[in-house]
Amino acid sequence: MSIIRKLPIGIQDFEDLRTNGYLYVDKTAYIYELVTRGKPYFLGRPRRFGKSLFLSTLKVYFLGKKALFEGLAIADLEKEWIEYPVFYIDLNEEGYLDENSLYKALDTNLKRLEAQWGKDETDTTPASRLSGLIRRAYEQSGRKVVVLVDEYDKPLVNTLDDPELNEAMRKILKGFYGVLKSADAYLRFLLLTGVTKFSKVSVFSDLNQLQDISMSEQYSGICGISQTELIETFQPDITALAEKLHLSYDETLAKLKKHYDGYHFSENAEDMYNPFSLLNTFSAGKFKDYWYETGTPTFLAKMLKDIDLDPKILENGLPFSTRSIADYRPGSENPVPLLYQSGYLTIKDYDSQLDEYLLGYPNEEVKYGFMNNLLPVFMPNKDVLGEFSIGNFIRDLRARQVDGFMTRLQAFFSGIPYELNNKEEKHYQTIFYLLFKLMGEYVQTEVSSAIGRADAVVVVNDILYIFEFKLTGATAEDALKQIDERKYAAPYAAGNKQIVKVGAEFSAEERTLSHWVQG
């Protein structure tokens, strides 16, 4: 079945979307809720999650363009449709490689507004220009001003790995955004969106009047797509995808959920799908890491390595205080708040007695994408990564080519530039863990038996492999003996798969896998 439906991939302009007949997931009830309950807000969401479209919808609403909302929830709620002066400030336009790029972005936005509301030549700084603009717009229109700031924090996020430049950006933005507090009497509505809430001694110390709705259960569905919205809006697209992939409708829905669902923005909130990945999957007709490929958090992966955080904890669940998760301080050695706010971790559970969240990966797209970025950070031999393919490892195991698999693994670890000792053992265990986990559905790591844990269990077709690695002070034969003595194969004895046991050892002298045996 061929369906031509206009999916709003990359469409961030609400007027364009409605005028040209793109599909739209109706979020306008949230707009009415916001504008009738308060005035100054902050909303944090991961990138590509619909923040820009939501701001654009607000812009069109405050411009009073009632006709564009016909058939949407707010059409039955709003009765007045008053036009206000709208200041839409977009900080997405620059890469922010230096201070001048920030001044250029601010200047571009301010010139656009000055073309409409005029300019006072005595206003020379970005802050004074914004202040003057707000006052003039209020005086000329007779109505209070609406200020919408898209990606307020992009100059800060983009310079986190350059503390000196980050601090320079912070000072410029602190003065610029500080105007929004002093201009409160002229403002009808204010919303800043971004990924991260930089608070305490940063930008938000001056913007402490903002109501942060990022983790409000009431607004948890303001961006993203819920299960109900997915089925109601995209049922034909799910059906078409199912037919293309030769899956049932329910199987396709389950696969979409596994890959792209799972974001929680408060402890009791419903699951939210990543809209960017969903739309691209429907358009391309195949599953892929669409969201993850639009940006790689290299500096976050490096921070994890620097603080020696075990990646296994991120998969199994990381307890974290609710008091610390909402704010990030530049220079902090703890990347967890930033990982959560950026969308690489999400809330999996909540302990009300301890007032702690349990954080973990939201879905498979994020989990495997993040592990792919972690591996080069921990990997000692960067040259090997250019020829690295998980598929080659899996093909070896399909053919029961244990020697080929282990030789490939040996090459992968060749030239380790560290001493093999107890201090570095965790480093190598992390590489083993990441490498095996990237084999995805084929692999379980650290699988428990009654009296121990196997390093890895890999199931390929009708063969089940049990691996045990010895890093210091033991041989491959010792590893194989441990598999038998601790009965790692016992949980699988009743199955119909052929069991292959592999013991391997690392050589301190050769700094790679030196010997392996199978049984």
Walking along the chain (519 residues) 10 residues at a time, the average pLDDT comes out as 78 96 97 95 94 98 98 96 97 89 96 96 95 98 98 90 90 93 95 84 72 94 97 96 97 97 93 96 95 74 73 85 78 81 93 94 92 76 62 88 90 63 63 80 65 81 89 87 90 85 84 86
- Claim to verify: residue 411 and residue 500 sit in the same structural domain: yes
Residues 346 and 389 in one domain: no
**Residue where one domain finishes, among candidates 202, 219, 236:** 219
376: amino acid identity, one letter: P
Assess contact for 502 and 402: CB atoms under 8 A: yes
Closest CA to 315 of 304, 307, 306: 304
Q: Are residues 358 and 402 in the same domain?
A: no
Domain assignment present for 277 = no
Evaluate whether residue 259 is within a structural domain: no
Is 326 part of any domain?
yes
Q: Is 100 exposed, middle or buried (0-12, 13-18, 19+ CB in 10 A)?
A: exposed
DSSP letter for 191, please.
Answer: E
Residue 448 in domain: yes
Q: Output the pLDDT for position 421.
A: 47
In this structure, the answer to whether residues 142 and 51 fall within a common structural domain is: yes
pLDDT at 454: 81
- Does 82 lie in the same domain as 211? yes
Q: What is the pLDDT of residues 388-420, one digit of tens each?
A: 678 888 899 899 999 999 998 888 777 555 554
User: Domain for residue 480, yes or no?
Assistant: yes
Residues 388 and 351 grouped into a single domain: no
Q: Same domain, yes or no, for 175 and 64?
A: yes
One domain for residues 422 and 447: yes
The predicted structure's pLDDT at residue 310: 76
> Does any domain span residue 246?
no
Listed residues 219, 248, 266: the one ending a domain: 219
User: Looking at residue 420, what is its pLDDT?
Assistant: 47
What is the Cα gyration radius of the chain?
27
Q: What is the dihedral of CA 73, 76, 82, 87, to 10 degrees?
A: 0
Number of H helices, E strands in the chain: 20, 13
53: number of Cβ within 10 Å? 20
Residues 427 and 463 in one domain: yes
Q: Using H for helix, E for strand and C for coil, what is the string for 197-237?
A: CECCCCHHHCCCCCEECCCCHHHCCCCCECHHHHHHHHHHH
- Report d(CA 322, CA 481) in Å as an integer: 46
Contacts of 352 (CB under 8 A, 6+ apart): none
Q: Are residues 48 and 164 in the same domain?
A: yes
Do 338 and 470 have their domain in common?
no
Domain span including residue 408: 380-518
Q: Domain for residue 258, yes or no? A: no
pTM of the prediction?
0.88
In terms of C-beta density within 10 A (0-12 exposed, 13-18 middle, 19 or more buried), how is residue 325 classed?
buried
CATH number for 135: 3.40.50
Round to whole Å and give the CA distance between 62 and 56: 10
Domain count, the chain: 3
Sign of torsion over alpha carbons 156, 159, 161, 167: negative
Rounded to 5°, the CA angle 302-304-310 comes to: 140
**Which of 163, 190, 219 is the endpoint of a domain?**
219
In a domain, 62, yes or no: yes
170 and 37 co-located in one domain = yes
